[in-house]
Amino acid sequence: MKALITGITGFVGSHLAEHLLSLNYEVFGSVRWRSKRDNIDHLEKDGSITLFETDIKDPISVRKTVTDCMPDEIYHLAAQSFVPTSWSAPAETLDTNIQGQLNILEAAREVVPNARIHVVGSSEEYGLVYPDECPMTENQPLRPLSPYGVSKVGQDLLGWQYFQSYGLNVIRTRAFNHTGPRRGEVFVTSSFSKQLAEIKKGISEPVIKVGNLEAKRDFSDVRDVVKAYYLAVNKGERGEVYNICSGIGRPIQSLLDLLLEISGLDVKIERDPSRMRPSDVMVLEGSAEKIKREVGWAPSITFEETMKDLYEFWLERV
């Protein structure tokens, strides 16, 4: 089987490439000429993946890549993925995420109409959630609170519409927060882990900068999430949407406490106003019943293991 992973240089893309390679897939990936290749260096060096220069915002570029690799499956991960950037660059976020996906769907429709296409949504689509609505199923109303959330609603519904209108084999997922080694340093788990690793090594003063510690998020390990993506694409129902989550809503404060325990550090905690959002999603706690029931996925890595691995990852790098 041949799989094309857009955004293979990113956090999830690199883990998904490893998982598909372990299942004997031929793996192709999209890269931009300026893309950092750190996450996939090891795969590039041993020749196990093939890369195509592609900007998803350019329909010509996307069509050429799809034509060159003729994939059986497309995992469309490439996106502007950082929620705060969606306030400073909303037009860019909507353009990359919605127009970019339109280019993927159009290229698939013309070149590989039988391919299975994974549309990557997000729990940010749910946005404003009331505590009595938790755990949220896929039927939860979509009330996005950021331009990023709106862009993911756009991707999600565009995928649904292409299934309805053209019969494309689209499978949609809404992953809740996921983390683990290689997590980008701006996201909360890596931001805290990296700061603590720098303090541990004496590079920084014992002060950690934080944003909103009251929000609750539902975390899974990225290595479990990529297995869910593979299973959803291969065993999921065409046109359907699946939540991917642990079912546990954790206050961000509790993940900070866990990292402090893992690192054994005593540090001063400083609120950084620049880390606060115009409207943060306050609670995300999902139900993974549908994906468990229909494709047999369940998470296997504990949050404690994930956070230890992430902290170790940063200790080796700072």
Cβ proximity to ligand A2R: between 116 and 183 the closer is 183
160-162-166-167 Cα dihedral, nearest 10 degrees: -40
* Binding partner of residue 66 among ligand GDD, ligand A2R, none, CB cut-off 5 to 8 Å per kind: none
Q: How far is the CB of 121 from ligand A2R (least distance, A)?
A: 8
* Binding partner of residue 78 among ligand A2R, ligand GDD, none, CB cut-off 5 to 8 Å per kind: ligand A2R
One character per residue 100-129, x = contact with ligand A2R (rule: CB under 6 A): x-------------------x-x-------
Candidates 2-10, 85-93, 196-204, 305-313; binding stretch for ligand A2R (CB under 6 A)? 2-10
| 144 lines the binding site for ligand A2R (CB under 6 A) | no
* Binding partner of residue 217 among ligand A2R, ligand GDD, none, CB cut-off 5 to 8 Å per kind: ligand GDD
| 10 lines the binding site for ligand A2R (CB under 6 A) | yes
Candidates 72-80, 137-145, 163-171, 266-274; binding stretch for ligand A2R (CB under 6 A)? 72-80
Q: How far is the CB of 8 from ligand A2R (least distance, A)?
A: 6
Q: How far is the CB of 86 from ligand GDD (least distance, A)?
A: 9
* Binding partner of residue 32 among ligand GDD, ligand A2R, none, CB cut-off 5 to 8 Å per kind: ligand A2R
- Span 187-246, contacts to ligand A2R by CB under 6 A: none
| 78 lines the binding site for ligand A2R (CB under 6 A) | yes
- Residue of this chain nearest to ligand A2R (CB atom): 10
Question: Between helices 252-263 and 188-200, what is the axis angle to 10°?
Answer: 30
Cβ proximity to ligand A2R: between 199 and 218 the closer is 218
